[in-house]
Structure 1
Amino acid sequence: MQLQLEDLLYQNKAIQSAVELFKGQSKNISERPLLSQTNASDITPNLCLLSPEQLHKNKLAILQQNALAENEATLSEEPQICIEMETGTGKTLVYIRTLYELYREYGYTKFIILVPSIAVKEGIINTLESFAEQLKDYYQHNIHWFEYDSKRLNQLKHFINDDQPQIMLTTVQAFTAEDRILNQTGRDDSIGGFSYLEALGQTRPIIIMDEPQEGMDTELAQKRLTTLTPLFVFRYSATHKRIINRLYRLTPYDAYAEGLVKKIEVLSVAEINDEATLKIELQEIQAQAGQDPKAKLNLWHNIKAGFTLKPSKWLKVGDNLGAITNNISYQDFTVERIYKGLRDKHWKIHFSNGVEIEQNQRQGDIGGIFRQQLYWLISSHFDKQQKLSPRGIKCLSLIFIDKVDNYIGAEPLIKHLFAEEYQRVHQERTGKQTSPAQIIAVQGYYFARTGKGEFTDNESAMLKNREIYDLILKDKQQLLSLDNPVEFIFSHSALGVGWDNPNIFNIATLNQTYSEIKKRQEIGRGLRICVNQQGQRIYDPASNDADDEVNVLTLIPNETYETFALQYQAQLSDEFGTDGKQPPLRNNHKGNKKQNKLTRHEARFNSDSFRNFWQSLARKTQYTVSFDEAEIINRGIQELGKIKIASYEAEIRLTRIKELQNIQGQGEEIGREIAQLKASYSAADIVEQISENTSLSYSVVFRIIKALDNKAQILRNPPLFIQQASKELKRIELAEMLRTLSYHETGDSFPLDPFKEAIHTYSPVEPTPNKGLYDFAICDADSMPEHNFARKADNDPKVVCLLKLPDFYKIPTPIGEYYRPDFGLVVKQSSLKNNESSELYFVIETKSTNDINDDKALTEHERTKIQCAVKHFQALGIRAEIGGDVTYQVKETPGGYQQASFHAPVKDYGDIKL
């Protein structure tokens, strides 16, 4: 097969946008001898004699021709320009043809193409080889090219010496490090005493940057680029991060609307009734100087209205996900460590049960979803193959996977699932089984193999796997041949940027990440217009009905269409704006959190009011509990017998994207259906997991399960049944525990020593200069009731001392967590008989509700801890009560003893709980 060179209008406009930059420049004609080994002045460089004013005038003329406004171009005198072309529209061939044009028009001969990776480099080599003869016929001359190799320096010397046009192709890594041969000085084989990089700089090369945002704008790379003293740098990408003299722009919106790339349809596969699948997504990290990092997770929260998947509050080491979400499924997940990897620089969170996830990665039971994705990918592949093969078009499908071990490893989940689903689809379509050898033959993969034979995600090691490396990255024509059996290509991340194939018609993302490979990058691997066996591109006439279209890319993500559309649209809008034009300006100023200093009020600290209060409050207790096993079993059978379970299913939905301006609103739904997901659980698994979730013995759980009349509910969705059963049993346990819970004093007390004269914190604070033990009170950033209470109490004339209770003040509870109240108050009162003043002591818990049974405002763990605290204070002889929205009261008993309580109205203090 020979891919055919096309003369496309939009590509010619991109080429001329670069060539006309030098309009008015005379042709470079060399009359100098070849470079001697001692005189670098004999080098024939590229020259540009145009003034900055003339170059600016040329830029303005190009912008006018391309209908681009000056404010979109970011004009600069810096000798670099940006050519922006949507992925799949042929930018590699555009810049190669640009070099041919620059030689023909101006006689420029020294060209360097910089690439970020092996995958990109091999794609360029394939293009140079495939179109060499056609380019020679079209331009009536040939440009010699070579791949830089430090072991073949004669090619580099020839590039510097020769006056004939040449292209040097190299990765950016070849000249960045100090120890690279290009940067070494004092070598015996140096040219004119220069390092090779300096000698290259004497030629004033024209540099092509392919995907410059991939590591070419680092400080070190730009330093080396300065040494090369390029005549001009041409930057080609679909997603520029740094805009300099952007003279041409073909946005995704334009390319999609004009039929320059494939149309897109989304076959989404999303879980339904997956509340108990332990889905955990590490979304965001908060890392400030002087503070321990915090994490925000996307979790299933159990609220009064049911389960909802939403972001958590900021979590720190020691936080339990079960308590945070009121979801017992997470009770074994306690944050043990939040850190950034030393090698990969990725933020990670490690839990007490050994589970560890990375930022923008999710944890959960995903085998069933992977199976559904593979089934629909293979099914779509068969459909398209049936339509495309008679027209001589090879159908290829690309699968991005979550980790290499899931395809090549001791238990390759994805590889096994693919084999099973391929057999299933083949049986459905043909009525016959296919052989294991055939299933193996249709698969290709691009992973890296280390010197020890282990597979990794590092593409630089892929060269050792030469056969598949050559097929996927170099022999594109062979891969496109109908005679080649490979139809499904598996990759992790190496094919995420810079690689594509015109006949990729289906892409499935069997990964657990939302940003490691962006959606735009994944989609870009299959946007190019397809080719037939003669290498001719096959375009769809504008009048074609959707059913007859050939160039349709089917995406199969493991999320809802709405989620996919929202994220894809956000990436497009972030880069191109909502209308495909200039994106909105973003404020990139991160700022730094201010460190606050809290100073102790010495008079209050040494006062009898505070010291007596603390002496009463600081006494420690221990608790005991007892359980009635028979009562738990009887109540367990009763409550679990009421459980009704929805089936664990996946919704498959096909949506065609009409235009990119608003893919959420412009998606046309083609159809949808529901598929049953299977969760494989034995009876022993169910008993074991419920036992682990509830701490009940196996025998107790078994007796409860055995007595149930609704065992069919378990089979509908075992994970969800386990979650609901564990939740009900835990409630029964808590009720029984609270009924029998008792506290007694230990004889120990919390000391005064931790109340330092000054405390430094990055946490939010509320000024408390009037009544506070410190001039500021540390408050939870997410708790407005705390801020409101501190502010109002500090200005209340009845308050003598206000204390935000420190973290070390904690009350043990039998649910495995300490209770930490919010505030302590010393309040003065006047006697009803003799008008003498006395003081009352209060421990305050601030919440956004006054109802202990408010499921929306309080989690079950919070309610239980408060109830435990009541018994703790009662053991100390302190009156404690829950509930009520009353005002300050003083009561006189028949014996003359006065009882008082201090309850602040909501209107004065915000919503508070005493």
Structure 2
Amino acid sequence: MELILQKNLPHQQRAVDAINKVFDGVEITKPRQFFENPIINLSDPNITQNINELQKSLPSEYRSSSPAEDVLNLDIKMETGTGKTYVYTKTIYELHKNYGFNKFIIAVPSLAIKAGTGQFLKDAYAKKHFTDVCGYGTEIEVGILESHKKKKGRFFFPSVVSDFVKGSTQNSKKIYVLLVNMQLLAVRKNGMLSRDDYDSGVEGFFRPFDALGATKPIVIIDEPHRFSRDQKAFKVILDELKPQSIIRFGATFPETSTGRGKNRITVKDYQNLLYDLNACESFNQNLIKGVAKEHFEPISKRQEKVRITSINSRSSVNFQHKKQDERTKTYTLQKDDSLSIISEAFEGITISGISASEVIFSNGITKSTGEELDVDIYMTSYQEQMMRLALERHFEIEKSNFCGRNFKIKTLALFFIDDIASYRETEDGKEPYLLKSFERLLKERIEIEISNLSGQEEEYKKYLEESLANISACHGGYFAQDNSDSDEDIAKEVDAILNGKKQLLSFKKPDGSYNTIRFLFSKWTLKEGWDNPNVFTIAKLRSSGSENSKLQEVGRGLRLPVDENGNRISNEEFQLNYIVDFTEADFAQRLIDQINGELPQASPLTKERIEEVAAKLGMTSEELFRDLYIKQYIDWERNIKTDARDAFFAEYPDFAVGLDSGKVKDRNRDRAKPVKIRKAAYNDIKELWERINQRYLLFYDKDLDVNMEDVVLSILEAENVFTDVTMTSSREIVKSDGSEMSILSESGVQYIISKIIPYNEFLKRIMQGTNIAITTLHQAVSRYTNKNGMIKPEHFNENTVSIIIQKFQEWKNENLQGRFHYAKSSTPVGSTALSFEDGSPRREITQGRIGTKLVEGTPSDKYLYDSYAYDSPLEKNNIMADIEKVVVYGKIPRSSIAIPTITGGMYSPDFMYIVKKRNGEKELNIVVETKDVENKNSLRGTEKANLECAKVFFDILSKNGYKIYFRDQLNNRQMAQVINEVLGE
């Protein structure tokens, strides 16, 4: 197939015309040298006049023209997917045709964009379009600058630079374009373009930068947000290439800031913006696909997940804990550590083994680096359900695109993943779990689709049958390390994905067989520069961080599709399915906030809008206009004045729809920093600290008599132990009402999760999570089936295992209180979170160990640390309260004290205090657990059990000769009250 470009699309032609008109009537003289561009008189007043005239169609805040002193700066803003590359290519042809310019340098930020741009400029279909269809009769000669390669001990002057410079401006049939990526623009001593020790040169120049600058080029910058003016690459363009004009084309532009603190103002760095095709207009005009975000709701509504990020030499495991709307936290756990350190949902589950690439948990589950543990249903594959949903959405669209019209559209889906080892086999032969799951799900889905086809869909059936016959041919991956891989099959796969756009869009191979590859896997390497119009589904199986541009993320799927003949389809509404996990449930809202936030703040009010608001306020439109003008909220042309915007919306909120105040936000987060431990304060609290860090073991009382088989039977007979597990998706469509973006909720899907576990493995996993003997478990299951009937095979699954383990923990919490005791271990204290092995204090501690939030100011000298770090408002109140009788106090570092509990985990309280008695003679030791809840009824079972265990533990310490008062503090009490109660005793 050949891609067919369309000429004179209005949204593209307006941008080309705008640049052309800047030079209308401007003095442009013939070049003095054959290798030069024509010379622009940058001081010609027509330039400013033309720019001012062009900017009349823009919002007032964009109407600023900067004089062209040494270089003429021009900006074109076009949203991703609307054809920037086409527009600047056509601009090159137009500027050559109308003004004789034929030396252009295109600067791009990355190799991927350079590859895509070079492919477009060189491709036969593009050349044919501009030469024949558009009638330019001129050919672009493209030189692509690559990194320097040394030959036989010598460096040769770059041939593409030589060819570019020698190209004559006298040749009306040739345009010379040099394509260069940002990295090659660096000025280094031995840099490719900056060195001057070549054996030969061009036109008397031995330094490539000097030769290029002598051509007086026009420089085109693609993706300008990657070329901010304070970056080295941009300065090199100005100082070394010495262009007459810099024309920037992008969806996003860099920002500049003035002022500090609250007075800081951040604005987009537009330089003579001529055309603004923003995201809102692109959606409104159906120039790009719409977006439908979808995610699965967590089954138990716990919106959190844990991922294994890396394994450290078989000794420890790094985890990442992500909660919605909270900062991601990292943990490092060792063998035998409890996962409850990360989340109480994992209470009772520990790490039982660590290999080079896997972690073995106490319930028998094994997970690899990159895999996720779903907190709400432990170990159920959330990612697998996301792939299942992506396939369902894909085949909905694919069937419509194949059978629902006179022409067929090849439908692609893109999966972003975390770890290449989950998709490709590694040298150690480990099975790629994500790939195996995907191929199984794809096979199941295709079989369902084939069974549902009618007799009139025979051709699509053949396409699916050929897909089913070779599942592995349906998908491919591209990752950065593929560039150095020597495997021939991988090289072909990468070439097809990265460079074979037409191949991916074709239904047939050259031999006439079906080309079934349409599911692509990548690790964010397919982003800017990789442009395939037929991506209809993106499944984000990895987290990118909440601060990424949402428009950049969906950008790979926004382009309007092309059919099997290469024709762009623009007379229909298409939609991109964007599937995320529950931690990005607000993705659609963030996307429309970004789109609406980029709308001009000083957009003019329409007459209709003024009439509408005036009627609501009981005024005439003339009266309302007069009031707004007198108060200096708007000018005569109804433009909102930027400096009065907030006051205007505060007094007239009816006008504020779709335009949020403070659209530019500083989202840089405070990074966790070390907090100093005050040596004097530590010395005052040292004895208490060392006592509570002593190791104790938990033992159950000898007279404990429990029939465990009866206990297990009662758990099995509890409600909702053996049930189907369902996951429901939430779908939101980004829509436009003509002036702003909004969200339309739509019904999602509901899946029953069924991952059957063999019966022996089922019992083994429960045993590992509860320490109940397998024979006991089997006898209880047998009694259950005799009494209640056979258990469905599909109910022997991971979810049932998790529920049984959880209910056993609940049983222990309720029934083992008061039936255990502690005994001191012979293990020495050793080093701690606050001290070294010899007992001397550490200098500092990581802030995250004592609190994720910071308060400005210096704490009282009584406080153990030099900074206010806290997690909850109640903790903040405790830290900042200066209580008279307190000698010293401090936040106990997270998970630093290991009190064993009946839940199977370890417990660590929150605060420690040294307090003087009322007569001032004796000091009291107080340890406090802080809970930001109203009363004890709000505590979960595990929390209550931990508190009860802590009371027993500190009673044992007191009986052993060191009196410690342990108290809990709920939200309705202040710390001073807690301390006074202890003093009263």
Do both proteins adopt the same fold according to a TM-score greater than 0.5, normalized to the shorter chain?
yes
Structure 1 residue 537: Cα displacement: 3.9
TM-score in terms of structure 1 length: 0.76
Distance change >3 Å, CA 597–CA 555, structure 1 → 2: closer
Matched, 1:64 2:74: no
Aligned-partner SS, 1:841: strand
Find the aligned partners of 2:915 and 2:774 in 1 and give their Cα distance. Answer: 50
Structure 1 residue 94: Cα displacement: 0.9
Find the aligned partners of 1:358 and 1:575 in 2 and give their Cα distance. Answer: 36
Aligned to 1:894: none
Aligned to 2:518: 488
Structure 1 residue 312: Cα displacement: 7.6
Aligned to 2:36: 44
Residue 959 of structure 2 is aligned with which of 875, 894, 903? 875
Distance change >3 Å, CA 447–CA 101, structure 1 → 2: same
Structure 1 residue 859: Cα displacement: 2.9
Aligned to 1:834: none
Distance change >3 Å, CA 117–CA 839, structure 1 → 2: same
Aligned to 1:122: 116
Distance change >3 Å, CA 275–CA 322, structure 1 → 2: farther
Find the aligned partners of 2:136 and 2:37 in 1 and give their Cα distance. Answer: 23
Aligned to 2:922: 839
Query: 1:166-181 maps to which residues of 2 (within 5 A)?
Result: 166-176=176-186, 178=188, 181=192
Matched, 1:586 2:665: yes
Q: Any conservation in 2 of the 1:82–1:247 contact (CA below 8 Å)?
A: yes
Letter in structure 1 aligned against 2:350: D
Aligned to 2:397: 380
Q: Any conservation in 2 of the 1:637–1:704 contact (CA below 8 Å)?
A: yes
Find the aligned partners of 1:47 and 1:847 in 2 and give their Cα distance. Answer: 74
Tell which deviates more after alignment, 75-84 or 14-23: 75-84
Structure 1 residue 822: Cα displacement: 1.7
Structure 1 residue 905: Cα displacement: 6.4
Q: Any conservation in 1 of the 2:927–2:966 contact (CA below 8 Å)?
A: no
Distance change >3 Å, CA 445–CA 208, structure 1 → 2: farther
Deviations 1:194-250 (A, max 9, x none): 322331122121122222335787844234423222222222222333533133210
Aligned to 2:575: 553
Residue 322 of structure 2 is aligned with which of 298, 304, 307? 298
Query: 1:118-517 maps to which residues of 2 (within 5 A)?
Result: 118=112, 121-122=115-116, 125-126=119-120, 129-137=124-132, 138-148=134-144, 153-161=158-166, 162-163=168-169, 164=171, 165-176=175-186, 178=188, 181-191=192-202, 192-214=204-226, 219-225=231-237, 226-242=239-255, 243-245=269-271, 246-265=273-292, 268=294, 270=296, 273=299, 279-280=305-306, 297-298=321-322, 311=326, 317=332, 321-328=339-346, 331-332=349-350, 356-357=369-370, 365=381, 366-388=383-405, 390=406, 392-402=407-417, 404=420, 408-409=424-425, 410-411=431-432, 412-413=435-436, 414-430=438-454, 434-435=465-466, 439=470, 443=474, 445=476, 447=478, 449-454=482-487, 465-466=494-495, 470-472=499-501, 485-486=515-516, 488-492=518-522, 493-502=524-533, 504=534, 506-509=536-539, 511-515=541-545
Matched, 1:826 2:915: yes
Find the aligned partners of 1:465 and 1:905 in 2 and give their Cα distance. Answer: 63
Q: Any conservation in 2 of the 1:80–1:234 contact (CA below 8 Å)?
A: yes
Letter in structure 1 aligned against 2:453: R
Find the aligned partners of 1:582 and 1:53 in 2 and give their Cα distance. Answer: 37
Aligned to 1:82: 75
Unaligned 5+ segments in structure 1 are 35-42, 284-293, 300-308, 337-348, 541-549, 831-836, 887-903
Find the aligned partners of 2:842 and 2:550 in 1 and give their Cα distance. Answer: 53
Letter in structure 1 aligned against 2:181: T
Q: Any conservation in 1 of the 2:353–2:361 contact (CA below 8 Å)?
A: yes
Structure 1 residue 14: Cα displacement: 0.8
Find the aligned partners of 1:64 and 1:574 in 2 and give their Cα distance. Answer: 22
Structure 1 residue 160: Cα displacement: 0.4
Find the aligned partners of 2:860 and 2:160 in 1 and give their Cα distance. Answer: 77
Tell which deviates more after alignment, 816-825 or 876-885: 876-885
Letter in structure 2 aligned against 1:199: A
Distance change >3 Å, CA 534–CA 311, structure 1 → 2: closer
Aligned-partner SS, 1:184: coil
Aligned-partner SS, 1:62: helix
Deviations 1:664-709 (A, max 9, x none): 854163x544332222322233223223333444444444444435
Find the aligned partners of 2:413 and 2:969 in 1 and give their Cα distance. Answer: 62
Distance change >3 Å, CA 335–CA 908, structure 1 → 2: farther
Find the aligned partners of 2:250 and 2:760 in 1 and give their Cα distance. Answer: 56
Find the aligned partners of 1:800 and 1:262 in 2 and give their Cα distance. Answer: 64
Query: 1:581-620 maps to which residues of 2 (within 5 A)?
Result: 584-587=663-666, 620=694
Structure 1 residue 354: Cα displacement: 7.2
Distance change >3 Å, CA 60–CA 360, structure 1 → 2: farther
Letter in structure 2 aligned against 1:261: I
Find the aligned partners of 2:348 and 2:74 in 1 and give their Cα distance. Answer: 52
Distance change >3 Å, CA 499–CA 686, structure 1 → 2: same
Find the aligned partners of 2:843 and 2:733 in 1 and give their Cα distance. Answer: 63
Q: Any conservation in 2 of the 1:647–1:676 contact (CA below 8 Å)?
A: yes
Distance change >3 Å, CA 806–CA 206, structure 1 → 2: same
Find the aligned partners of 2:743 and 2:967 in 1 and give their Cα distance. Answer: 52
Distance change >3 Å, CA 149–CA 785, structure 1 → 2: closer
Matched, 1:639 2:715: yes
Q: Any conservation in 1 of the 2:588–2:733 contact (CA below 8 Å)?
A: no
Residue 102 of structure 1 is aligned with which of 89, 95, 103? 95
Aligned-partner SS, 2:924: strand
Residues matched between the structures, number? 825
Distance change >3 Å, CA 879–CA 156, structure 1 → 2: closer
Find the aligned partners of 1:867 and 1:912 in 2 and give their Cα distance. Answer: 19
TM-score in terms of structure 2 length: 0.71
Aligned to 1:781: 870
Distance change >3 Å, CA 211–CA 640, structure 1 → 2: same
Deviations 1:467-490 (A, max 9, x none): 565532688688899996346241
Find the aligned partners of 1:838 and 1:498 in 2 and give their Cα distance. Answer: 75
Aligned to 1:693: 769
Q: Any conservation in 1 of the 2:52–2:63 contact (CA below 8 Å)?
A: no
Tell which deviates more after alignment, 160-169 or 21-30: 21-30
Structure 1 residue 74: Cα displacement: 9.1
Q: Any conservation in 2 of the 1:788–1:910 contact (CA below 8 Å)?
A: no
Query: 1:745-784 maps to which residues of 2 (within 5 A)?
Result: 754=839, 772=862, 780-784=869-873
Tell which deviates more after alignment, 708-717 or 749-758: 749-758
Structure 1 residue 884: Cα displacement: 9.1
Aligned to 2:816: 736
Matched, 1:650 2:727: yes
Find the aligned partners of 2:329 and 2:59 in 1 and give their Cα distance. Answer: 47
Q: Any conservation in 1 of the 2:306–2:372 contact (CA below 8 Å)?
A: no
Find the aligned partners of 2:830 and 2:910 in 1 and give their Cα distance. Answer: 14
Letter in structure 2 aligned against 1:146: V
Alpha-carbon RMSD across the aligned residues, in angstroms, is: 5.1
Distance change >3 Å, CA 622–CA 72, structure 1 → 2: farther
Letter in structure 1 aligned against 2:346: I
Q: Any conservation in 2 of the 1:113–1:209 contact (CA below 8 Å)?
A: yes
Letter in structure 2 aligned against 1:159: F
Find the aligned partners of 1:594 and 1:695 in 2 and give their Cα distance. Answer: 41
